[in-house]
Amino acid sequence: MNSLNLNVFWKDLSGYIHKIAKMGIKGSKFEFLYDQFGANEARESGFNCVSTFPDIDKVYFGDEFPEFFNSRIPSRSRSDVFNGLGIPVNDIEEYIKETGAKLATDNISFGIIEDETEEETVV
C-alpha cells in the first residue's frame, strides 16, 4: 500500500451514518483530521471524539499507524481472514473496501476515497 485516502464514518443509534473525518496514509505515515461539519453534527447525536484524536480542531500526523486504525486490520498471520474474504493477504485497501474495517465494539467505519474530485488528505 503506497497511499490511501479514507473517509471515517460514525453511525448513531438511529442508524444515520455521519462522515466525521478523513485519514490519509502514505507508507507508514498518516494524517487524521476531523470533518468540522460532520463531526459537530455527529456530536449532537452522541458522538465523542476518538480518544487517540481528542481535539476536533487539530490535524494529527504520525510516523506509525495509530492503534485506532491498527486494531481494525488483521495481522499478516491472520491469512484466514483475508482468504475468507477472497482477497490477497495483507491487502489493506481491499480489506477496507470489503469490510469498512469495522469493529464489533464501536460504530466507526472507513471508506476509501475513490472520487478524484474529492479533496485528498495530504500526508
Instruction: Quick: pLDDT tens for 48-106.
Output: 999 999 999 999 999 988 888 889 988 888 889 999 999 998 888 999 999 999 998 88
Give the up-direction half-sphere exposure of residue 111: CA atoms within 13 A in the CB hemisphere: 13
Which residues have a Cβ under 8 Å from the Cβ of 117 and sit 6 or more positions away? none
Which residues have a Cβ under 8 Å from the Cβ of 36 and sit 6 or more positions away? 56, 57
Q: State the residue for C-alpha cell 444515520.
A: 16
- Global pTM reads 0.86
CA atoms of 2 and 71, how far apart (whole Å)? 20
CA atoms of 36 and 56, how far apart (whole Å)? 7
Residue 86's region, left for phi above 0, alpha for psi from -120 to 50, else beta, is left
Rounded average pLDDT over 7-20: 97
